[in-house]
């Protein structure tokens, strides 16, 4: 197990390093500098600015400087927002984005398990057909459409929750649902398949023969088996949720990292965009690593490695 985890960890770190390298050099070879504003700056001032940001150094020096700061957790100053460094922007947005992402993931897993179990226990029956058709439809509705429609129904017509902004718990209800919806469907499909095949497993037949209650059979014998594929889905799901949160934060006007990313992208804020990509990549790689650990814990064959 230790060897397996070490291998996975090394792999994650190499990937992260590769991302940082590629992103850094892409940013530097891109046309147009951060000071190419509407107004031409006097060359002396521009030179001073570049010196202050180390832009006058050779590329490899800049890269080394950036890496050195990154290791200490410093993402550098923002190229566009005065008086802010990227850390401040990221740490300001992080709590909002984390709350949004984790709530959506929880909702997706719990609701998806419920739907998938219900459907999987009645394979081929009308309930199964309807639940799965609904899931398929759900997978097809993109967040950019589902979000506004949710606002229209629950905020504009019913007035149950606010349409946007942040501050209270109610502000998070719609964004979390909008972000989680496609993943509820995806989890439901996975769990449904698992429950259907678990139904014919010998250990489930044994449980039935022992006269266990249906609740115990489903909860203790079928769901655990059916949930194993879920673990490997969590890595890509985390990546998808993080990406999706960019658009959800935009739609619901939540001040998360995604908002800063879009602002930074539109304003060509080099360090900010790069900082967000680095933070997101780290988060996703960390999540994948945790999924690997979980996989090792449930699968004895991997533990033996």
Binding mask 57-96 for another protein (x = CB under 8 A): ----------------------------------------
Beta carbons of 179 and 98 less than 8 angstroms apart: no
Verify binding: residue 271, another protein, rule CB under 8 A. no
Number of residues that this document lists for the chain: 305
Verify binding: residue 235, another protein, rule CB under 8 A. yes
For another protein, give the closer residue by CB, 155 or 217: 155
Rounded Cα–Cα distance for residues 251 and 174 (Å):
10
Verify binding: residue 277, another protein, rule CB under 8 A. yes
When computed from its CA atoms, the radius of gyration of the chain, rounded to whole angstroms, is 24
Determine how many CB atoms are found less than 10 A away from the CB of residue 33: 15
Rounded Cα–Cα distance for residues 17 and 97 (Å):
24
Rounded Cα–Cα distance for residues 42 and 45 (Å):
5
Q: Which of 1, 6, 26, 64 binds another protein (CB under 8 A)?
A: 26
DSSP 163: S
Interface stretch with another protein, choices 104-112, 171-179, 188-196, 205-213 (CB under 8 A): 188-196
Cα–Cα distances (Å) from 22 to 138, 179, 274, in that order, read 35, 29, 10
End-to-end CA distance of the chain: 5
Q: Which of 118, 212, 247, 290 binds another protein (CB under 8 A)?
A: 247
Q: Which of 2, 31, 39, 209 binds another protein (CB under 8 A)?
A: 31
Query: Which residues are at the interface with another protein (CB under 8 A)?
Result: 11-12, 14-15, 18-19, 23, 26-27, 30-31, 123-124, 128-129, 132-133, 136-137, 139-145, 148-149, 151-152, 156, 189, 192-194, 196-197, 199-200, 235-236, 239, 242-243, 246-247, 250-251, 261-262, 265-266, 268, 273-274, 276-277, 280-281, 284-285, 288
């Amino acid at each position: 197990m230790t060897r397996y985890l070490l291998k996975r960890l090394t792999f994650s770190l190499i990937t992260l390093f590769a991302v940082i390298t590629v992103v850094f050099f892409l940013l530097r070879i891109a046309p147009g500098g951060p000071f190419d504003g509407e107004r031409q700056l006097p060359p002396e001032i521009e030179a001073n600015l570049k010196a202050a940001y180390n832009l006058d150094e050779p590329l490899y020096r800049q890269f080394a400087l950036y890496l050195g700061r990154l290791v200490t957790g410093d993402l550098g100053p923002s190229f566009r927002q005065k008086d802010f460094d990227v850390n401040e922007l990221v740490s300001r947005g992080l709590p909002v984005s984390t709350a949004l992402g984790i709530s959506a993931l929880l909702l997706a897993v719990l609701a998806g398990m419920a739907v998938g179990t219900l459907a999987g226990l009645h394979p081929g029956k009308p309930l199964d057909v309807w639940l799965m058709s609904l899931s398929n439809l759900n997978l097809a509705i993109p967040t950019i459409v589902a979000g506004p429609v949710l606002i229209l129904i629950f905020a504009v017509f019913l007035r149950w929750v606010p349409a946007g902004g942040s501050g209270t718990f109610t502000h998070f209800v719609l964004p979390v649902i909008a972000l989680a919806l496609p993943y509820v469907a995806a989890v439901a499909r996975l769990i449904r398949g698992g429950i259907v095949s678990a139904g014919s497993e010998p250990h489930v037949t044994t449980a039935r023969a022992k006269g266990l209650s249906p609740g115990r059979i489903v909860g203790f014998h079928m769901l655990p088996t059916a949930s194993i594929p879920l673990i490997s889905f969590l890595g890509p799901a985390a990546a998808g949720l993080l990406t999706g949160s960019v658009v959800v934060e935009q739609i619901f006007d939540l001040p998360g990292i995604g908002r800063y990313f879009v602002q930074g992208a539109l304003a060509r804020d080099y360090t900010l965009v790069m900082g967000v990509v680095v933070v997101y990549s780290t988060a996703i790689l960390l999540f994948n690593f945790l999924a690997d650990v979980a996989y090792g814990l449930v699968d004895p064959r991997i533990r033996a490695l």
